[in-house]
Each structure stands twice: as C-alpha cells, then as structure tokens.
C-alpha cells in the first residue's frame, strides 16, 4: 500500500502546504503556542490524507462498471465532500487559537461557498500530484518489465540464431572421413573434427568469444575443409597480436567461410582465396575473390543474416559488406570484453 498509494509524496505535499501557508499568514505566529502549530498541521495533514486516499483508491484500482472519466470525476467529487465535511468537524470541535482565529464560519451561503471552493482546490491539488506520481511510477514499472521481457527475448533469439548453422558441414565432413584410409591422416582428421565440435558445444550458449579462440577453432575447421578441397581452397590469416583478446560472436568466421564456399566456384583452375585480417578500427576483415557459381546450392539463407542480427542484438553494431571489383568482403567490428 505504501508504494501503491505514493505515501511518500503525500507527506511531502502535506509538509510543503503546512510550511508555505504558515509563512503566508498575516497573523503574528510568534505568539502562538506549540500545540497550536500541532493542531494547524494536523488539520492540513488530515484533510490531505482523506483526499489522497480517495484519489488513490480510484486511481490504483480498476472498475468495470464505469469508464475512466467517470471514475476520475467521482473521485474528485467524493474528496471535495469529504474535505468539506472534515473541515466542518474541525471548526466545531477543535479549540479556538491564534492560528484559526480568522477561520470563516458556516453561517451563510457565502461562507459555505468559501469552504466548498477551498475543498475543491485542495482536492484538485491532491488529484494532480497523485495522478502525476502514480503515472510516473506506472511508467517506470512498465519500462522495467519491458526491459526484462526484452532481455529474455534477446536471449531466446540469440540462442535461436546460434542454432541455425547449417548441418551440411557435418555431413560433408563425415563423407570425407569415409574416404580416408586408417592411417595418420585419418587420426589427424578425427582430432581436428573433435576440436571443431568441442568448440561448438562449449560456445553454443556464449554470446561472445575471444578472437584468439575463434582463430584456433577456424584453423581446425580449415584443416577439415582442406581435406575436402585440397589446394582449391587457400586461406591466409594475418591477425595482429593486440586484437586477439577482443571479442566476436562465436562461429562468425565459420559462417563467413562457409558462405564463401557455398556461393563461389572452387577448383584447381579457379581456387577460392580467402584472407582474414584485422585493422585498427578495430575490426576483422574477411575477404575472398568473387567467382559465383552458375547454379547456387540450396540453403536457408541464414549465414550473413545470422551475423547481422547477432551484432545488432549484442552490441548495437553494424557489419559492413562490400562486393566490388571481383572482391567480396565482410568487416566485423571487434568488441571490447
């Protein structure tokens, strides 16, 4: 209730009205006894409390039988009547003193109109302050809930994106494995294959990985691909030492290399040359000669889209794609840990 009814702001408003009205009074307040100040503050705090609780009840709770405008109007009307009645009780039963010596009585219609006007403005002040604080608190709660939901959505979306790597790499690797004799090359191949899948399993639920680990993984991955394409696939890796501790989304390099292999011709006459370098942006640049296949392989189209979405969600960064003069390059920003 303390939070829902914004009680903190009730005390702040009551204190401000009490002090400000005392300072504006023309009577000589220095002659008043301490208990007179207490009674004066009690009247203001009690009147405001009645208004505050009535407005709070109607603003915090929802009612299905009437609309918001009717609810707000009823709230103001009831608080005016309650404040008017409470002020009459105070006038009747509280003792006279210096601070209330000039209080308007309840003898004539003009007197009643003055008290009604005062009750109206007091109710209106309470309504405006309570509505503002309540609306601001509701807005903050909504923002917090949206942030929590957004984080949960991002986590689910990232996991979904990370699971979209095409399985044809596994099938091609196993097919290649069948053609290799049971000798040392076979053992080396199996070791590298195990290294690849160990990396995939370890980092499947991680959003970022050090570039050093990604490069080590790519070398194992390329060992397997070279068994398949031999000298038709040429990859040159030149990464500055100072960039190895920076982060990228895991498997980004694998997706780019797989994308290049999928969309380009690869043969001894037309080898696919891929270079992996870094610059001082800092960024990782993956570039290959562009020699598109006449008949494209079927795919889900999630390679580059996967990387673009992951960078957008993780770091609000954009990757740069360039296809010009027979060269295709993708620039990935490197992220601080």
Please provide the DSSP assignment of 170-232 as one string: HHHHHHHHHTS-SSHHHHHHHHHHHHHHHHHHHHTT-S-EEHHHHHHHHHHHHHHHHHHHGGG
Residue 272 confidence (pLDDT): 92
Enter the DSSP assignment of 127.
Answer: H
pLDDT classification of 181: cutoffs 50, 70, 90 = low
In a domain, 226, yes or no: yes
In a domain, 1, yes or no: no
298 has pLDDT over 60: no
Burial annotation 220-244 (CB, 10 A radius, 16+ → b, else e): bbbbbbebebeebbebeeeeeeebb
What is the rounded average pLDDT of the residues 75-88? 89
Question: How many other β-carbons are positioned within 10 Å of the β-carbon of residue 170?
Answer: 14
What is the rounded average pLDDT of the residues 293-314? 72
In a domain, 143, yes or no: yes
- pLDDT (tens digit, 9 = 90+) per residue, 6-44? 888 889 888 888 888 888 776 666 677 778 888 888 888
- Domain around 85: 7-160
Q: Which of 73-82, 244-253, 291-300 has the lowest mean pLDDT?
A: 291-300
Q: Which of 55-69, 86-100, 162-176, 188-202 has the lowest mean pLDDT?
A: 162-176
99 has pLDDT over 80: no
318 has pLDDT over 80: yes
- What's 197's domain CATH number? 3.30.565.10
Residue 106 confidence (pLDDT): 82
Q: Please tell me whether residues 102 and 195 are part of one structural domain.
A: no
Q: Please tell me whether residues 46 and 184 are part of one structural domain.
A: no
For residue 10, what are its two tokens? 């009730």
Residue 229 confidence (pLDDT): 87
Helices vs strands, H then E, count in the chain: 9, 7
Residue of higher predicted confidence among 64 and 329: 329
Q: Please tell me whether residues 188 and 108 are part of one structural domain.
A: no
In a domain, 2, yes or no: no
In a domain, 213, yes or no: yes
Residue 75 confidence (pLDDT): 86
- Using the 3D structure, point to which of 160, 182, 208 is the last residue of a domain: 160
In a domain, 201, yes or no: yes
Q: Please tell me whether residues 133 and 183 are part of one structural domain.
A: no
Q: Please tell me whether residues 100 and 35 are part of one structural domain.
A: yes
- Using the 3D structure, point to which of 122, 138, 160 is the last residue of a domain: 160
What is the rounded average pLDDT of the residues 62-81? 80
Residue 309 confidence (pLDDT): 81
Residue 6 confidence (pLDDT): 82
Residue of higher predicted confidence among 32 and 109: 109
Specify the number of domains making up the chain: 2
> Cα dist. 323→23, 147, 164, 257, 287 in Å?
75, 37, 24, 15, 10
Q: Please tell me whether residues 238 and 89 are part of one structural domain.
A: no
307 has pLDDT over 90: no
pLDDT classification of 245: cutoffs 50, 70, 90 = very high
> Model's pTM, two decimal places?
0.49
Q: Please tell me whether residues 175 and 141 are part of one structural domain.
A: no
Q: Which of 41-55, 134-148, 259-273, 322-336 has the lowest mean pLDDT?
A: 134-148
Q: Please tell me whether residues 141 and 262 are part of one structural domain.
A: no
Q: Please tell me whether residues 151 and 183 are part of one structural domain.
A: no
The chain-wide mean pLDDT, for the chain, equals 81
Q: Please tell me whether residues 213 and 293 are part of one structural domain.
A: yes
Q: Please tell me whether residues 138 and 172 are part of one structural domain.
A: no
- Using the 3D structure, point to which of 120, 138, 160 is the last residue of a domain: 160
In a domain, 71, yes or no: yes
Q: Please tell me whether residues 186 and 281 are part of one structural domain.
A: yes
220 has pLDDT over 60: yes
Residue of higher predicted confidence among 318 and 202: 318
Residue 55 confidence (pLDDT): 85
Percent of the chain with pLDDT over 90: 16
In a domain, 137, yes or no: yes
What is the rounded average pLDDT of the residues 74-88? 88
């Amino acid at each position: 209730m303390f939070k829902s009814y914004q009680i903190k702001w009730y005390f702040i408003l009551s204190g401000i009205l009490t002090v400000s009205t005392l300072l504006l009074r023309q009577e000589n307040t220095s002659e008043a006894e301490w208990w007179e100040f207490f009674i004066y503050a009690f009247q203001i705090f009690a009147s405001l409390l009645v208004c505050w609780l009535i407005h709070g009840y109607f603003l915090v709770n929802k009612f299905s039988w009437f609309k918001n405008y009717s609810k707000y109007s009823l709230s103001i009307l009831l608080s005016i009547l309650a404040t008017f009645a409470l002020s009459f009780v105070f006038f009747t039963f509280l003792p006279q003193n210096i601070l209330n010596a000039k209080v308007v009585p309840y003898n004539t219609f003009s007197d009643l109109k003055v008290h009604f006007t005062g009750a109206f403005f007091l109710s209106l002040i309470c309504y405006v302050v309570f509505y503002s604080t309540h609306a601001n608190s509701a807005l903050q709660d909504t923002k917090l809930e949206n942030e929590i939901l957004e984080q949960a959505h991002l986590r689910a979306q990232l996991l979904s994106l990370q699971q979209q790597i095409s399985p044809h790499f596994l099938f091609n690797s196993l097919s290649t494995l069948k053609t290799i004799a049971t000798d040392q090359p076979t053992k080396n191949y199996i070791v590298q294959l195990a290294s690849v899948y160990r990396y995939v399993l370890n980092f499947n639920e991680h959003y970022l990985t050090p570039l050093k680990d990604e490069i080590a993984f790519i070398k194992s991955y390329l060992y397997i691909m070279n068994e398949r394409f031999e000298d038709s696939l040429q990859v040159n890796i030149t990464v500055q030492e100072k960039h190895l501790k920076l982060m990228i989304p895991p498997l980004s390099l694998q997706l780019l290399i797989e994308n290049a292999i999928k969309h380009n011709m690869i043969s001894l006459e037309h080898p696919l040359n891929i270079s992996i370098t870094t610059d001082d942006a800092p960024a990782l640049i993956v570039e290959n000669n562009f020699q598109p296949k006449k008949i494209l392989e079927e795919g889900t189209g999630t390679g580059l889209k996967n990387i673009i979405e992951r960078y957008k969600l993780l770091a609000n960064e954009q990757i740069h794609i360039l296809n010009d003069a027979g060269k295709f390059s993708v620039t990935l920003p490197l992220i601080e840990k």
